[in-house]
Structure 1
């Protein structure tokens, strides 16, 4: 997934939350902690943490230290001269 596509998804989530906020306001429901500022803060948090999580997952999947299967794969790669 590209960074641009990720930003589009996060923007979609922020827009959906904004739509929910407008719908609730139209019904006369006022939630003190659910406002434009909290939605923007949540969107910014997602823009920061989601790429960090994806990078962490990528590092986890591309290492040969933890699982037995990964250790076997590393052994086979070394035996075949690929690693």
Structure 2
């Protein structure tokens, strides 16, 4: 998944939230905490949080400290002179 696709998914979530806001306003139902400002804040949170999760997952998967299999793989790499 590319960064562009990720931004498209976040924009889609923002669009759905915006549509919900318009729907609630059209049926004259007001939710005080659900407005344009909170939607923008939530989208900003997603834009910052999702890449952080992806980076942490990448770091987790590329370390040799986590599982016994990874430790064995590290030893094999050292033994073959690849690390």
TM-score of the superposed pair, with normalisation by structure 2: 0.92
SS of 1:8's partner is helix
2:68: which partner in 1?
A: 68
Deviation, 1:79, is: 2.1
Runs of 4+ in structure 1 over 6 Å off: none
Structure 2 unmatched ranges of 5 or more: none
User: In the aligned structure 2, how far is the partner of 1:44 from the partner of 1:19?
Assistant: 18
Structure 1 unmatched ranges of 5 or more: none
Alignment RMSD, CA only? Answer: 1.0
1:2: which partner in 2?
A: 2
TM-score of the superposed pair, with normalisation by structure 1: 0.92
